[in-house]
Structure 1
């Protein structure tokens, strides 16, 4: 797992373009948004143009999550297309919300010690019980069963979360780790 880096700064305001990237219409819209946003005083990161999202290079979930999250964390502005209900966009917005909430608590006078005390670190246990997983490698072209958003998978794994094949496996793990 790569570590998400936040130890760099820029004098220019930073932005992030969040939106689905899974079909031709999504790609054209993201490229259009990127072109239009170049006319602002904000330097926008557009995931569709990032090397970590070049599918011909077979990026891992960790590659995608790490690079995109670094850019989300450093952004002052998030422009999000929520019309397609893309789960990666929803995860990106969740990260932005958590950042803003931490800022809100600090502005209210909470110390880092308070925040860490009252908001515990989360143990993430997700389950992904899809019968298509076991045979998906036997299909080709348009017959490959649909997959899962790699940004979300990367986010779960980056937080030392685990993804189980069923809810029963989650219960089993929780029961064994009492």
Structure 2
């Protein structure tokens, strides 16, 4: 078992404090993409970063921001390495991150039980949720982050970023992003 030094813990905290470039309300730690930090000597570190999906365009901005923050705190050499395994999942978003998404007006991904597969749904672009347990639909509705109503509809499977869908609340009529489960 590897022990973490106080310096590594502090540098990992600093790397994780970087805001996500696409969702600046979240830090990279809250998003769950900063996986590890390895100290090499006293002034060189390697940070392991997992993108939310392979080919994520924000990974370069995340890496540069991590490098900048750590250099500002005296680390001479910073290497950010992209790590694809284990793959990132929306389960990696912290409870604080989910709270911040909701407060920002984005429905956080629904929480899954550990071995529950993510359903793949093919069908029309605009759909209203079917009753719980209906064939081919998730039993858990996506509640509106504005009013809390579960009476929402899918407008588009993609929104401002590939990891979000566009939905609308049928109670308060407000549109909102939903961070899709992965």
The TM-score by the shorter chain falls in which range? Answer: under 0.3
After TM superposition, the score normalised by the length of structure 1 is: 0.26
Q: Bigger relative contact order, structure 1 or 2, given CA contacts below 8 A and separation 6+?
A: 1
After TM superposition, the score normalised by the length of structure 2 is: 0.25
